[in-house]
Chain A
Amino acid sequence: MKRFLLYTMIGCMSLASVSCSDESLDNKSIFDTAKTEQNDFDKWIRNNFTEPYNVEVVYKLNDNISDYDYDLAPAEYSQSIELAKIIKHVWFGAYDEVAGVDFTRQLVPRTIHFVGSPAYNDDGTMVLGTAEGGLVITLYMVNYMDYFLSQEDYMERLNHYYFKTMHHEFGHILHQKKPYDTNFQKITEGTYVGGDWYQYSEKTARQLGYISPYSRNEVNDDFVELIANYVTHDQEWWDAAVADGNSTDKDGTTHNGGNLLEEKLAIVKTYCRNSWGFELDELRDAVQRRSKELSTMDLTTLN
């Protein structure tokens, strides 16, 4: 009976459309295409993100993009400008420098969404950033930008709250497009712990051959955590992480996590070179240099 009804419906619909064919389609989309007046920042975004990279920067909070489960506050206008300029210089600029603008355009998320407040879980812990299938990346705590920038260790804070998330998601897009060497997952096979990753310390992670606790979530996260952590830190930091991984416990237990980290990094570097044509070390140098340049940059003027 149901099926019959459906058929008659289809019959009627085609009838209806035939009988109406003298009417033209309405040219107004039901989707939001209305252009509200563009302010200076909107224009800057168009010239610096949308036109060169086909990327939309949404600084006006949009609950359709953001996670409705969280109670959020929107980003402040002036601090959004600062973050947008930082992203352009340290993130997009570094990729352009080592691999060309086409590479960047192809691999960055289509939408970067700013939220002013942190996204707090019920227990008061916060989410640093979220990404959906490489299409949208949401960055929280934009309203803390002035505070972060006023701190001596501003780069560590920016890395922690923004850049690691950005490079992490970028890494995912890379390996989703071109697979990496399957030998990577064999290096520390058996010590991935899935959702329990947060129960283990950084030191334990390193002694087992992971750069961060989150790396133990699964092999793809391990792969991209290496990229994200490597490019946001200098050689000294990496050497210390390797030393940490090869450290000996008080009770004399020895670990070889540092060697395992080096093995993994070698695969990552080869992958970047052979699959994508850039040197990971060059990317790191560019990110490091550009991060330092922030301290003398004008982050408030739209130019």
Chain B
Amino acid sequence: MVAVLALAQTSCSSDDRVFDDSSANRMENALNEYKELLVSAENGWKLEMYSGENKEYGGANIFLNFKKDGTVSIVSDYSTGVKAGTTLTSNYELLKTQGPILSFSTYNDILHYWSEPSSSDVDGLEGDYEFIVVSASDKEFVLKGKKRGVTLHMHAVDKNYDVKSALTKMIAVRNSCSKMKLFEVIYENKTLGVGKFSGGYFQIDDFKSLYFATETGIRLANPVTIGSAQISEFEYDSKSGILIAKDVNLNIKPIDTRVPLSTFLNGTWYFMFDDAEGEEYVMPVKFAESDGQLYMYNREKQFELKVSYDASTGSVVVQPQVLSMDESGNYVWMLTYNGSSIFVNTSYGLQSSMVNITDDYYIFSFDSYGTEGLYNTFVLYSFKSGKAPEVSGAVEYKDQWSNFALVLVK
């Protein structure tokens, strides 16, 4: 009782206050100060984007220009719903809920790409767009996602820095990397193994890291250990297409993954896929041309697919086609699928793509062709017509074939 009384009394002597202003006023002042900092950075801010509770996604450099009127212009080196390098303007707010919050409160395809849900992925990429301001200065904002809790860093861009030219370089490097399907890891002039850029990650064996484009090359979000060296920065040599590690004699050299038509026709091939029940099929197959049409078929010829050879990528393309007739006399079509919709469009398809090289084999998976976002899956439906089908003409669901893969014996 005495102690409490004493407390009560001290709380009245205004000289001893811990803070010299009320919490509401301090919050108000903080928000005003943050806004002032945000808008006064002459050349804007650069945010390194991560999303997912454990930073599973990310790799985008996002440049932001905050204006006094509550709008923010955003541009990134990462292709989202819009092409990399496109500037989009939306709104931001500084709010006082759960501490000071920087909220990107109207839609911006570049920023909200990281949080947009879809029917096939209801969490989306689990990105935040409401951030608690952990610390702020004219050099750096430390932001903590309100929902997922991921900490992001936003740095003021130097006023002499040419954002436009930097972006052009970053976009070019990012494009080159994403095109570099497979690469050789060459350490002190010896080949250590094979790695790849896939789905926004840099991968060697079990090591996997997001990467950011820099003006001169790439920087790994987590360093890779090779020998005794920890490597995170690479310089990109645009002439040779080689990524050269900083301070270590290590090169990342792209592998030409194109396969000549003659190898398809003469090589020893295996084809595999899973059906809807998850049963795995593996069969030796041959490629042969007949009347200008390329076919892939197994020995007994009871499995046969029309394919086409794409010379520019050295790959084969599988497109929607009639597989057989069912017992009711309907045509069984194989159609593409993107996780939520099935497409009858016969210009879409799946394209083979080399994903790994082992001592004995070249291994190929299948990627979206003719459009983006198709799953490595064909859905089998019966239709009344054998001509290009109409969605409305679908009679019956038959099966689903997934995880198409090819193996070429060395």
Interface residues of A (CB under 8 A from B): 8-9, 12-13, 15-16, 19-20, 23, 26, 28-30, 32, 34, 36-37, 39, 59-64, 68, 70-77, 79-80, 116-118, 120-122, 124-126, 143
Q: Which of B11, B23, B31, B103 contacts A60 (CB 8 A)?
A: B103
Total number of B residues with any Cβ neighbor in A under 8 Å: 47
The 6 residue pairs across chains A and B that have the minimum distance between CB atoms: A60-B105, A120-B122, A76-B107, A16-B8, A28-B24, A124-B119
A68: nearest chain-B partner, CB-CB: B147
Q: How far is the CA of A28 from the CA of B23 in the complex (A)?
A: 9
Does the CB pair B105–A20 fall under 8 Å?
no
- Distance to closest chain A CB from B131 (angstroms): 12
Q: Is A116 a contact partner of B103 (Cβ separation < 8 A)?
A: no
**Chain A residues near B193 (CB, 8 Å)?**
none
In the complex, which residues of chain A have a beta carbon less than 8 angstroms from the beta carbon of B117? 70-73, 117-118, 120
Q: By CB atoms of chain B within 10 A, which of A9, A80, A117, A118 has the most? A: A117
Q: Which of B90-98, B274-282, B313-321 contacts A (4 or more CB under 8 A)?
A: B90-98
A19 touching B9, Cβ below 8 Å: yes
CB-based nearest A residue for B71 = A39
Cα-based distance from A64 to B146 in the complex (angstroms) = 11
- Select one of A15, A37, A63, A64 contacting B5, CB under 8 A: A15
Interface pair B23/A30, CB less than 8 Å apart: yes
Known: A12-B7, A32-B95, A120-B119. 7 other contacts (CB 8 A): A12-B5, A37-B70, A39-B69, A39-B70, A61-B103, A76-B106, A118-B117
Q: Given A32-B97, A70-B117, A73-B117 in contact, is the A80-B106 Cβ separation under 8 Å?
A: yes
Please name all residues of chain A whose beta carbon is closer than 8 Å to the beta carbon of B9 when the two chains form the complex: 16, 19
- What is the CB-to-nearest-CB distance from B119 to chain A, in angstroms, rounded to a whole number? 4
- Say whether, besides A34-B31, A37-B68, A120-B117, A15 and B8 are in contact (CB < 8 Å): yes
Cβ–Cβ contact B69 & A74, under 8 A? no
B115 at the interface (CB under 8 A from A): yes
Q: Count contacts between A and B, CB distance < 8 Å.
A: 117
Bound-state Cα–Cα, A121 to B120, Å? 10
Report how far A163 CA is from B117 CA in the complex, Å.
23
Q: Is the CB of A20 within 8 A of B11?
A: yes
- Give the distance in Å from the alpha carbon of A74 to the alpha carbon of B129 in the complex: 9
Question: Chain A interface secondary structure, helix, strand, loop or mixed?
Answer: loop
| B118 contacts A by Cβ under 8 Å | yes
Complex CA gap A300/B254 in Å reads 50
User: What residue of chain A has the Cβ atom nearest to residue B8's Cβ?
Assistant: A16
Chain A residues with Cβ below 8 Å from B90 are: 76-77
User: Which residues of B sit under 8 angstroms from A121, Cβ to Cβ?
Assistant: 122
What is the chain B residue whose CB lies nearest that of A28? B24
Query: Chain B residues with Cβ under 8 A from A122's Cβ?
Result: 122
Q: Which residue of A lies closest to B119 (CB)?
A: A124
Given the known A-B contacts A28-B28, A74-B129, A117-B116, are A16 and B12 also in contact in the complex, defined by CB atoms under 8 Å?
yes
Which residue among A9, A63, A143 has the maximum number of chain B CB atoms within 10 Å of its CB? A63
Q: Are A73 and B115 in contact (CB under 8 A)?
A: yes
| B1 at interface, CB cutoff 8 A | yes
**Cα distance A80–B104 when bound, in Å?**
15
* CB atoms of B106 and A60 under 8 A apart: yes
Take A76-B90, A80-B106, A116-B112 as given contacts and tell me if A9 and B4 are in contact as well, using a CB distance cutoff of 8 Å: yes
Q: In the complex, what distance in Å separates the CA atom of A118 from the CA atom of B115?
A: 12
The residue that B93 contacts in the complex, of A13, A36, A117, A118, with Cβ under 8 A, is A36
Q: Given A8, A28, A32, A76, which contacts B22 in the complex, CB threshold below 8 Å?
A: A28
**Complex: A29 Cα to B340 Cα, angstroms:** 48
Report B77-119 CB contacts with A as 1/0, cut-off 8 Å. Answer: 0000000000000110111110000011111000010011111
Partner of A71, one of B24, B71, B126: B126
The 25 sampled A-B contact pairs (Cβ below 8 Å) are: A8-B1, A12-B8, A13-B8, A16-B9, A19-B12, A23-B12, A23-B14, A28-B24, A29-B24, A34-B31, A37-B69, A39-B70, A60-B106, A63-B146, A64-B97, A71-B126, A73-B117, A73-B129, A74-B107, A74-B112, A74-B129, A117-B116, A118-B117, A124-B119, A124-B340
